[in-house]
Amino acid sequence: MSGEGKEPQAIRKLQPGKLVIASHNAGKVREIAALLEGRGLEVISAGALDLPEPEETGTTFVMNAELKARAAADLSGLPALADDSGLCVDSLGGDPGIFSARWGGENKDFGHAMRLIEDKLAAQDDPPRDAHFVCALALAWPDGHVEWFEGRVDGTLVWPPRGDKGHGYDPVFVPEGHEQTFGEMDEPAKNEISHRGDAFRQMVAAVF
Domain locations in the chain as residue ranges: 17-207
Nearest to 21 by CA among 94, 91, 72: 72
Tell me: pLDDT of 8 over 70: no
Tell me: pLDDT of 40 over 70: yes
Residue 189 has a pLDDT of: 94
CATH of 17-207, one of 3.30.1370.60, 3.90.950.10, 3.40.50.620, 3.30.420.40: 3.90.950.10
The response to whether 186 counts as a known ligand-binding position is no
Residue 35 has a pLDDT of: 87
Tell me: pLDDT of 76 over 50: yes
Residue 10 has a pLDDT of: 64
The catalytic residue among 84, 90, 125, 126 is 84
Provide the H-helix boundaries in 36-139.
61-76, 110-122
Residue 6 has a pLDDT of: 42
The residue with greater pLDDT, 27 or 52, is: 52
The response to whether 145 counts as a known ligand-binding position is no
In the residue annotation, 84 being an active-site residue is answered as yes
| CA dihedral of 157, 160, 164, 165, whole degrees rounded to 10 | -10
Tell me: pLDDT of 132 over 50: yes
The response to whether 195 counts as a known ligand-binding position is yes
Tell me: pLDDT of 1 over 80: no
What does the alpha-carbon distance between residue 120 and residue 39 come to, in Å, rounded to a whole number? 43
Residue 2 has a pLDDT of: 44
Average pLDDT, the chain: 93
What does the alpha-carbon distance between residue 149 and residue 129 come to, in Å, rounded to a whole number? 27
